[in-house]
Amino acid sequence: MFAAAGSRINSVERYEVEGNKWVEMDGLPRFRAGCVGFVAEESGEFWVMGGYGESRIVSGVFPVDEYYRDAVVMELKNDDGNDVDGGGGKWREVGDMWEEGQRARLGKIVVLEDDDRRSPEVFMLEQTDILRYDLALNRWQKETSVPRKAPDEKSFGFVVLDGELHVMTLLNGLDWSETRRSRQHKKAGTLFIQIYHPRKKTWRSLVAKPPFHHPLDFSTAVMCTIRL
């Protein structure tokens, strides 16, 4: 899974490991930036959710990004389970995932691959709530709430590991902007991890020391699960 930011683009490329090259694929239906993408291995689909494209002018001066509420899907495998010729098919537009005014933008996303199901389970961390994406309804449904709150949603890290959702925050950490302004060594604080099991509907927690000498900035850190 990855998050895309920066310039609005609609180009899509696939990295070919054996040939050590990038292969151009069918472009997105419209330009996007700040979107979230992931590959559902079992179903053979490439999903792209949210992001922003167009902008509107506020008070005749300030441009404000218009965030998308929809998702698009590219088929990577055919009905026989084989790769689609060229590495991917055409895009399928899913439609809006929430009503206008329900939320401003997509939250932090993690994808849980389930060996017993064809489709993955997609979860979103929105402030202190965890929502589950219902593929059939194309809607986000509340799953649970984080037991221990953080000052704001940017203070949380969100990642999936071994079938569980890990919500991370720093205890006794210092403000990242303050750390950047200072050249003195700062303590990294304590990493507090709240862990949710979607199947058991249970929470547990643990405390650990971060492997860094400076506080983690969860608003900009890139987090993902690595299979070894």
Give the C-alpha separation, 12 to 184, whole Å: 43
Tokens of 213: 């000498």
Decide which of 100, 119, 143 is a domain's last residue. 100
Are residues 50 and 80 located together in one domain of the fold? Answer: yes
Are residues 129 and 187 located together in one domain of the fold? Answer: yes
Are residues 82 and 181 located together in one domain of the fold? Answer: no
Give percent above pLDDT 90 in the chain: 34
What number of residues does the chain have?
228
Are residues 3 and 66 located together in one domain of the fold? Answer: yes
pLDDT of 189 higher than 80 = no
| Banded pLDDT at 219 (limits 50, 70, 90) | confident
Tokens of 178: 């303050």
Express each pLDDT in 104-154 by its tens digit.
889 999 988 866 656 789 999 998 999 999 988 999 999 999 998 876 555
Are residues 114 and 209 located together in one domain of the fold? Answer: yes
Are residues 88 and 150 located together in one domain of the fold? Answer: no
Tokens of 197: 């099991």
| Banded pLDDT at 85 (limits 50, 70, 90) | confident
Do the beta carbons of residue 141 and residue 131 sit within 8 Å?
yes
Give the phi and the psi of residue 122 in degrees, each rounded to 5: -110, 130
The tally of domains found in the chain comes to: 2
User: What DSSP string describes 118-132?
Assistant: SSPEEEEEETTEEEE
Are residues 53 and 12 located together in one domain of the fold? Answer: yes
Work out the average pLDDT over 151-180.
71
- The residue ranking higher by pLDDT, 87 or 32, is 32
How confident is the model at residue 78, as a pLDDT? 78
Give the C-alpha separation, 219 to 170, whole Å: 12
Are residues 112 and 223 located together in one domain of the fold? Answer: yes
- Cα dihedral across residues 123, 117, 34, 104: positive or negative: negative
Which residue range(s) make up the domain with 88?
Answer: 1-100
Tokens of 2: 């990855």
Are residues 138 and 215 located together in one domain of the fold? Answer: yes
Decide which of 100, 134, 158 is a domain's last residue. 100
The model's pTM is 0.79
Give the CA distances from residue 43 to residues 13, 47, 86, 120, in Å, rounded to whole numbers and listed in that order.
20, 11, 18, 8
| Banded pLDDT at 193 (limits 50, 70, 90) | very high
Are residues 79 and 172 located together in one domain of the fold? Answer: no
Give the C-alpha separation, 14 to 63, whole Å: 33
Q: Give me Rg for the CA atoms of the chain.
A: 19
Are residues 146 and 202 located together in one domain of the fold? Answer: yes
DSSP state of 176: H
How confident is the model at residue 184, as a pLDDT? 39
Decide which of 84, 100, 116 is a domain's last residue. 100
Are residues 5 and 32 located together in one domain of the fold? Answer: yes
DSSP bridge pairs for 13: 24
Express each pLDDT in 37-83 by its tens digit.
888 877 788 999 999 987 777 677 667 788 899 999 998 887 777 77
DSSP state of 102: T
- The residue ranking higher by pLDDT, 175 or 124, is 124
